[in-house]
Structure 1
Amino acid sequence: MAKQLAEGRTVTGCRLLSGGWSSQLRGLTLDDGEELVLRSFVKPFFRRHAPGLLSREASVVALLAGREGIPAPALVAVDATAQHCDHPSLLMTRLPGVVRVDEEDPEALGRRLDLLAAQLVRIHAVVPEELPRAYQAWTSPERVLAPAGGMWERAADVIRRDPPPYRGRFLHRDYHPGNVLFTGAGDGLRVSGVVDSVDTSWGPADLDVAHCSTALALLHGPAQGLAFRARYEAQGGHGLAVGPDHLYWRLLDALAYSPDAGKLAGPWRELGRTDPTPDVPAERLEAYVRLLLERYG
């Protein structure tokens, strides 16, 4: 840290930030009031893959810096191989706002989800000079560990095919409410930050829509997950697949959560959502998969 700060600057405060699952986040305050965030990979799996993950995130943060319509942090420094830190780390500016996973009245929640969809449309409009890596699937028919039953077998069969053809887009790839910051309230609510770009890649817009949809289904109920496509398209998103092709991308994401959907309840509790027990995400995932098969199957 000392080597990365401007001459004369010192760190006067440090505290752990809540909500991180893949990494440990620290909020740092400098003597002039500036705030930074130090993101460190401490879990063995993420530490092992940190050189690629953090180098990619550093390049994406640099790409998005100052880009109109996408409030991303600015890169300060990166130590992807832990040459200077206890753990592989990335240092960036801190954005204003907070993560919002609370349940509000339907109108207020709908406004927030519309903003979430509009921000994703702007991300997909990015055309980088150098394309990021191709997307990676997070499950496969052989890796799906779903409960026994005809519905789950049918769902796994949907992704037992070659990926549908698609038009490539710039993907955040881990876009969900936990990686978006908001400021304001009511009509003044705004997206103030989009974070966690370690998985940025090139692929179908359907995949980002699918990932956010799954998160919304587990957090706010299956109906909200199912409806996110309509919100995305109402905000100007286009080019999504239809019918079985769109179902493929939705289930390719949703099935990656089985049987561990309950692990999300921990980070949610850290962010103030104490109502979902570990059983709730699993129950919602099952209901969501059933709705997807009914809608697009």
Structure 2
Amino acid sequence: MDRLQGMRVFVRVAESGGFAGAARALGMSPAAVTRAVAALETAIGARLFIRTTRSVKLTDAGGRYLEDCRRILSEIAEAEAAAAGSTATPTGVLTLTAPVHFGRLYVLPVVTDYLARHPAVSIRALFLDRIVNMMEEGIDVGVRIGHLADSGLSAIRVGSVRRVVCAAPSYLERHGVPETPRDLREHAVIGTSNSGALPEWRFGLERRIAVAVHSRLTCNTVDAALAAALDGWGIVRLLSYQAASAVAEGRLRILLSDDEEAPVPIHVVSPEGRRAPAKTRAFVDLAVAHLRADPRVNPVG
């Protein structure tokens, strides 16, 4: 009898409290169960049970070995389920979440590609500028921008973005260009609901600088803050992808680039990891491939 089957028999004997109960549960003869446990004891060189005419009890070694066997058998079952899921046809409804602006620009193309590849799946896309509890809200996959808390989620890093300070040329012509982060105290600042909640903006890599800012205008969406900056009202701090189009067109200018913080990571996350159903695993694989191949998300050099 192979070692794994011996482990399964041993675990069942321990859980059943006897050889006869384990034999009934496994559909084996009591003699076959006894031989399997004896063979396992011989193979590992330790006695696993103390047998009397009335009871079967684990030895100290058997108790330790039981926990190891349960862990090993669980990991094997998980690996087999993952392998089966990877070859199964994706079906059902997939629910995903991502930040609003990032979702529209980068995740939606993944969604449409995925739907074309997997006609048996429907997608519910929730583009929200807040961190959702994926377990409580029934989310299968998420894209997170920022450093992850220890949440138990399976996470795959796909790239990074920068936090950039920018303003319209018309604003800079009227009010001048800030040369250092502390110069921002003398400028009109546009906040968003996220950045506006903070009393300071942080700069620098090795030498960290925190600058207190007062946002006379705070917007609850990035699009509104971006529009105000484009109108020349003030200086705004955005993630680089949010400002990329306006910067490329010359409608915004990035400021204080030498004082930027370290880039912010982007992850594709899932609560279930390797145990996820085929629909989720297929989307994660496609999203990772798309996002890692996009130089705006995963810049080279």
Which structure has the larger Rg?
A: 2
Q: TM-score normalised to the size of structure 1?
A: 0.21
The structure whose RCO (Cα within 8 Å, separation 6+) is larger is 2
| Structure holding more strand per residue | 2
Q: TM-score normalised to the size of structure 2?
A: 0.21
